[in-house]
Amino acid sequence: REKDWNVIGVDMVAPNKIQQLLGAEKKWASRFEFHQMNITDKEAIQALRDLIKRSDTVVNLAAICNPSEYIKQPVNTINSNFTDAQDCINFCVELNKHLIHFSTCEVYGRTLKSYGLDGNDEKNWLLD
- pLDDT tens digits for range 55-89: 999 988 877 777 777 778 888 888 887 888 899 99
Q: Assign 3-class secondary structure to 32-86.
A: EEEEECCCCCHHHHHHHHHHHHCCCEEEECCCCCCHHHHHHCHHHHHHHHCHHHH
- The residues, ordered by sequence, that sit 6+ positions from 19 with a Cβ below 8 Å of its Cβ are none
Average pLDDT of the chain, as a whole number? 79
What local confidence, expressed as pLDDT, does residue 14 receive?
80
Residue 128 pLDDT > 50: no
Q: pTM score, two decimals?
A: 0.70
Distance CA 110, CA 115 (A): 8
- The residues, ordered by sequence, that sit 6+ positions from 72 with a Cβ below 8 Å of its Cβ are none
Residue 127 pLDDT grade (very low, low, confident, very high; cuts 50, 70, 90): very low
Taking residues 109-127, report their average pLDDT: 61
Contact between residue 97 and residue 50 where contact means Cβ atoms under 8 Å apart: no
Contact between residue 67 and residue 27 where contact means Cβ atoms under 8 Å apart: no
State pLDDT tens for residues 3-57.
Answer: 778 888 888 888 777 777 677 777 777 888 888 999 999 999 999 999 999 999 9
Question: How many residues belong to the chain?
Answer: 128
